[in-house]
Amino acid sequence: MLKKMFFSPFGETRTPYSVVRIMIVIVVISYLLKHCKKEKRPWWKNSIVYQIYPRSFHDTNGDGTGDLKGITAKADYLYDLGVKTLWISPFFTSPMADSGYDISNFVDVDPIFGSLADLDELLKTMHSKDIKVVLDFVPNHSSDEHEWFQRSLRREEPFADYYVWADPKGFSDSGNPIPPNNWLSKFRGSAWEWREERGQFYYHQYHRKQPDLNYRNLRLQEEIKNVLKFWMDRGADGFRVDALKHLFEVEDLSLDEPVNEEAGVEDNLQYNYLKHPFTMNQPETFEVVRDWRKMMNTYSDKWFTLCRDLTPPLAPWARLLIVQVYNKDIQDVVKYYGSDTDPLADFPFNFRIIKKLHNRSDVTGTRLMKIIDEWFDNLPEGKWPNWVLGSHDHSRVASRLGADLVDALNMLTLLLPGTPVTYFGEEIGMQDTEISWEDTKDPQGRNFGPDHYRKHSRDPCRTPMQWDATANAGFSKGPSTWLPVNDNYKTLNVKAQSEARESHLKVYKTLARLRQESSFAKGKLAFPVVTDEVLAFIRYLEDEPTYLVVLNLSENDVVVDLHQHTNLELPPDASVITRSVSDKSEENSPGPKVSLSALMLVKGEGLVLQLTFAKEIE
């Protein structure tokens, strides 16, 4: 009877089952067509990438360390914040010699962070909110506790050459083996560690518990690609590749690196004592990235052949590839973009603000302009910029460049064309935490001893997220936390800033919303005013509102006549959309018009204004 109720247009009878199938096909086709039409650019271009350091984000089991369930529990917060992509620092199995960057199993979750099931839940929750999840990928090294290393140590095949092993150069008078060359570890001291069991040294660019993998072994290369596939199968939307430039070393391991005379470093065990022509950016690195890119693209494309026009990187299911490379010469950074015909990473991080501005007095409009111009001028054709203010490796931007600049710098990075990368807590202006020698965990700090660790330790920027004013800043209900919480948590926290009338958090949310508007997402860019004190930029698009962002980067309150400094025809006034929280004046409160001939800005303030018109921009 039921069967008879379903008829096909062609006259034959259909079962309810086949009708359901037809409906599913229709839904899938309409979804694909909708996206084919709508998506004109890769999803990550409009997104903010929000970096979560999982150890410090939110602890749900009271052991004082953040966990994956803690990230999932904060999904609503992340959604409201307006960030559309999370990059989660390593949560893989690890003895934690370098806070999880020493991985002993690339395809499992460390119990302190939870389980694979917790990750699945996290991915499901974030995807249901249209938030993408990018994982940290650490290809340069593993932990010395990884099974591969243990078997390599015993010369077991096929693992014997999975790491960079070398014979000693000779033996000292006392019979001690001498390393094959003078290469130094980034964490201080020789980069070679002797293993009696094998009668050889192994190479470690970082901690001695982080032996470098040997990319000259093709089988190892395949193993590493399988790691990427494993996480993409589970739903990862992309990767942030750690320490990429160190993937290869020269083949001749007898070569010493030259002393870096210009650096003027006296400590001959410190990394910068040497130049590093043989241990970074070797040409083979690009081959490997090219291979990952190709694999990720075909991988993304696998199930969606119906939408052929929408091959990666345009597809909503395209996987994002970000690489971490620090190089002084910008050309050595931007070459990791590849080109349109030879795509490599979607972007290498732009660390120029971090690397070129070291303290409050370094921040001027002219210097920032130079940094911005440098990136745009060197950006390969068709590629997309990005802006980074901080990470788990650097002093927090509020402490490094100035707490008064928190909103202005967020305005800059969120409203310029490009993808901004926000390190967790930057949205509320979190600051570095003073950590005693006894509490210091970071091996980079510990290797310098109690007198010098402060200069090198990365712990101050890694302390727990400040959620509220309760014990442990609402980060953990346990008796203590893995690193101490900053003393300022009672006033500087998410809850206080959500309840305040004006706060960094509220400014950030406004900016995250604004950057979705066409004028910011696709609009053009002009810089009407650039002086040491003030940097102003305009974002505009035909038939869309025109915005003017004015930043007072000086350490004084100023009154600026924008008309005087610009050759653009600006209107007499503009209305305030948002401003730095430090500005309490009635004049600049959001809404009313302010005069562009006498614009008052307190020190470090940023103002986002909407113009009625701005002529002759081009």
CB of 500 to ligand BGC, least distance (A): 33
The conformation of residue 257, written as its DSSP 8-state character, comes to P
Nearer to ligand BGC, 416 or 421 (CB): 421
Identify which of residues 285 and 324 has a Cβ nearer to ligand BGC in the complex: 324
How many of the chain's residues bind ligand BGC (CB under 6 A)?
A: 9
Nearer to ligand BGC, 388 or 529 (CB): 388
Measure CA of the first residue to CA of the last residue in the chain; give whole Å: 71
Confirm if 533 and 554 have CB atoms less than 8 A apart.
Answer: yes
Contact between 91 and ligand BGC by CB under 6 A: the answer reads: no
Q: Which residue is nearest to ligand BGC (CB)?
A: 101
Residues 6+ apart with CB under 8 A from 71: 52, 54, 57, 58, 86, 88, 122
**463: Cα separation from own chain's centroid:** 17
Work out whether 101 is an interface residue with ligand BGC (CB under 6 A).
Answer: yes
Identity of the residue, 324 or 486, whose beta carbon is nearer to ligand BGC in the bound complex? 324
- The residues with which 241 forms a beta bridge, in sequence order, are 137, 323
Task: Work out how close the CB of 206 gets to ligand BGC at its nearest, in angstroms, rounded to a whole number.
Answer: 4
Structure tokens at 190: 């020789």
- Pick the closer one to ligand BGC by CB: 483 or 514: 483
| Pair 590, 579: CB distance under 8 Å | yes
Helix runs in 234-361, H state only: 284-301, 330-334, 352-356
Does residue 243 touch ligand BGC according to CB under 6 A?
A: yes
| Cβ nearer to ligand BGC, comparing 279 with 566 | 279
When binding is defined by CB under 6 A, the residue of 50, 206, 278, 292 that contacts ligand BGC is 206
393 binds ligand BGC (CB under 6 A): yes
Nearest to 375 by CA among 390, 397, 355: 355
- Sign of the CA dihedral with 65 first, then 68, 71, and 76 last: negative
What CA–CA distance (Å, rounded) separates 479 from 492? 21
Judging by DSSP bridges, how do beta strands 238-241 and 132-137 pair with one another?
Answer: parallel
**d(C-alpha 443, C-alpha 612), whole Å:** 54
Q: Which is it for strands 534-540 and 524-530: parallel, antiparallel or unpaired?
A: antiparallel
DSSP assigned state of 13: B
Q: Where are the alpha helices (DSSP H) in 435-487?
A: 443-446, 449-456
User: Closest separation between CB of residue 237 and ligand BGC, Å?
Assistant: 20
In the complex with ligand BGC, which residue's Cβ is closer, 58 or 458?
A: 458
Q: Which of 138, 289, 411, 534 binds ligand BGC (CB under 6 A)?
A: 138
Tokens representing residue 307 in the block: 């939408």
Cβ proximity to ligand BGC: between 417 and 464 the closer is: 464
- Whole-number Å distance between alpha carbons of 38 and 9: 31
The nearest distance, CB 431 to ligand BGC, in angstroms, is: 20
Please state the closest distance from residue 103 (CB atom) to ligand BGC, in A.
Answer: 9
Residue 156 corresponds to which tokens in the numbers above?
């077991």
CB nearer ligand BGC, residue 205 or residue 578: 205
Minimum gap (Å) between residue 138 Cβ and ligand BGC: 6
Q: Comparing C-alpha atoms, which of 611, 598, 588 is closest to residue 558?
A: 598
Compute CA distances 46 → 43, 117, 591, whole Å.
Answer: 6, 30, 26
Is residue 49 close enough to count as binding ligand BGC by CB under 6 A?
no
Closer to ligand BGC by Cβ: residue 242 or 502:
242
Choice from 59, 67, 98, 346 touching ligand BGC (CB under 6 A): 98
User: Which H helix or E strand runs over 135?
Assistant: strand 132-137
CB of 143 to ligand BGC, least distance (A): 10
Q: Using the rule CB under 6 A, is 332 a contact of ligand BGC?
A: no
- Smallest separation (angstroms) from ligand BGC to the CB of 474: 26
Query: Closer to ligand BGC at the Cβ: 187 or 520?
Result: 187
* Residue nearer to ligand BGC on the CB measure, 432 or 533: 432
Q: Which is nearer to ligand BGC, 98 or 605 (CB)?
A: 98
The alpha carbons of the chain give a radius of gyration, in whole angstroms, of 26
74, 146, 208, 392: which one binds ligand BGC (CB under 6 A): 392
- How near is the Cβ of 82 to ligand BGC at its closest, in Å? 25
Least Å from the CB of residue 65 to ligand BGC: 17
Tokens representing 550 are 């004015």
Q: Convert 418-443 to b/e letters by CB count within 10 Å (16 or more is b).
A: bbbbbbbbbbbbbbbbebeeeebbbb
Q: Work out whether 351 is an interface residue with ligand BGC (CB under 6 A).
A: no
Closer of 393 and 439 to ligand BGC (Cβ): 393
549 binds ligand BGC (CB under 6 A): no
Of the residues 125, 285, 324, 466, which one makes contact with ligand BGC according to CB under 6 A:
324
Which tokens is 409 given?
């710098």
Query: Which DSSP string do the residues of 47-73 spell out, in sequence order?
Result: PPEEEE-GGGT--SSSSSS--HHHHHH
Shortest distance in whole angstroms from residue 461 CB to ligand BGC: 11
Q: In whole angstroms, how close is the CB of 57 to ligand BGC at the nearest point?
A: 16
CB of 245 to ligand BGC, least distance (A): 9
DSSP structural state of residue 338: B
Min dist CB 196 to ligand BGC, Å, is: 26
User: Please, what is the minimum distance in Å from the beta carbon of residue 393 to ligand BGC?
Assistant: 5
- As to burial, measured by CB atoms within 10 angstroms (0-12 exposed, 13-18 middle, 19+ buried), residue 542 is exposed
242 contacts ligand BGC (rule: CB under 6 A) = yes
Question: What are the φ/ψ torsions at residue 555 (nearest 5 degrees)?
Answer: -95, 20
Amino acid identity for residue 578 in this structure = T
Of the pair 43, 192, the CB lying nearest ligand BGC is at: 192
Calculate the dihedral angle through the C-alpha atoms of 298, 300, 304, 309, rounding to the nearest 10 degrees.
-70
241/287 Cα distance (integer angstroms) = 15
Triad 594, 588, 81: Cα angle to 5°? 120
Residue pair 375/416 in contact by the 8 Å Cβ criterion: no
Contact residues for ligand BGC, defined by CB under 6 A? 98, 101, 138, 206, 242-243, 324, 392-393
